[in-house]
Amino acid sequence: MALSWNYDDMPDQTGRTVLITGASSGLGLVLADRLARRGASVIMAVRDVAKGERARAGLTGDLEVRQVDLADLDSVRSFVEGMRADRRRIDVLVNNAGIGGQTRELTRQGHESVFATNHLGAFALTGLLLDLFRPDHDPRVVAVGSNLYRRIKVRTDFEDLSAEGGFSPGTAYVRSKLANILFGAELDRRLRRAGSPVRSFLSHPGMASTPMHDSARTVAQRAMVTIGGALFSRPVEQAALPLAFAATDPAARTGVFLGFAPRKKDIRVHFDALVPPADDLALAARLWRISEEATGVRYLGDPVLAEGDDQRL
């Protein structure tokens, strides 16, 4: 299934509050701009406040910049505490922020930084914000994954959070994006079982022309970006369309990957079934337990679950 959809099709967002991580550049900035234009109040959650304020100054609408470093779980908790102190409520959370890394680096909590930023930070932020969603405003969580998981096979043990067993820039990124998909799908299953009105959507932009490409350092990486960009890369305005669709449109569905086909000329939003290992329920449950233990975040106050326990969320 595929739909032709563009920003003109976005429903009116007046009265809705959308929190977007990584909103100071790339996909997040485009999404913040487009949602604000349609009337949404947008919270731009960024690591660098000065950069975020410069980005916000070029936009129009109701936009606010708040600081959070998703690589630092203490920063994530401080961010949520600030939201609570200000009595902020939200309707949509777009877990857009993501990094790549050329070398193995560890966070303050001792986790490999790419996985920590792209997955663990999003896991913690989502869990800590869940009770701030307004139940009567079509509450949504949007995960931003990558369809590279179909083409690049990566380890799925997830237990080696510090990457002591080895680090490769490309596989570290793909592993983190696979984790985003597994988490987003598992979150929706748990929310449904709990009777929550919040829904969790999976989206991907395809290969987008974003600042992340600037991190390519080696000759091989730069060649891959150049060749891949020529064949598959889309302008960032276009690449953000599936994210906007997942965040706003009534026709969006959970449990499928909302994104583009590889062909650059096909700009429809496709509803793609998940394929192994992204559809592995046992793997998703294991990742959930690992993420709870690593972050200390228990969704709705649940304790860490034992292997095989079905009483989730």
pLDDT of 233 strictly over 60: yes
Q: What is the C-alpha separation between 33 and 46, in angstroms, rounded?
A: 15
Alpha helices (runs of H) in 194-262, residue ranges in sequence order: 219-232, 236-239, 241-248
The mean pLDDT of 73-96, rounded to a whole number, is 98
The mean pLDDT of 195-209, rounded to a whole number, is 91
The mean pLDDT of 182-206, rounded to a whole number, is 96
- Residue 133: strand pairing partners: 90
Calculate what percentage of the chain has a pLDDT beyond 70.
88
Say what the pLDDT of residue 218 is. 55
End-to-end CA distance of the chain: 31
**pLDDT confidence of 206, banded at 50, 70, 90?**
confident
The one catalytic residue among 7, 149, 173, 299: 173
- Tokens 């326990």 — which residue? 309
Instruction: Determine how β-strand 63-67 pairs with β-strand 269-272.
Output: unpaired
Q: What is the C-alpha separation between 53 and 32, in angstroms, rounded?
A: 13
Contact 67, 40 (CB under 8 A): no
Evaluate if pTM is beyond 0.95.
no
- Tokens 């974003």 — which residue? 210
Say what the pLDDT of residue 81 is. 98
- Which residues have CB under 8 Å from 170's CB, separation 6+? 152
Say what the pLDDT of residue 304 is. 41
pLDDT of 93 strictly over 90: yes
166 or 107, higher pLDDT: 107
The mean pLDDT of 69-98, rounded to a whole number, is 98
**pLDDT confidence of 271, banded at 50, 70, 90?**
very high
Contact 284, 185 (CB under 8 A): yes
The CA angle 218-216-29, to the nearest 5 degrees, is 175
Residue 299 is among the residues annotated as catalytic for this protein? no
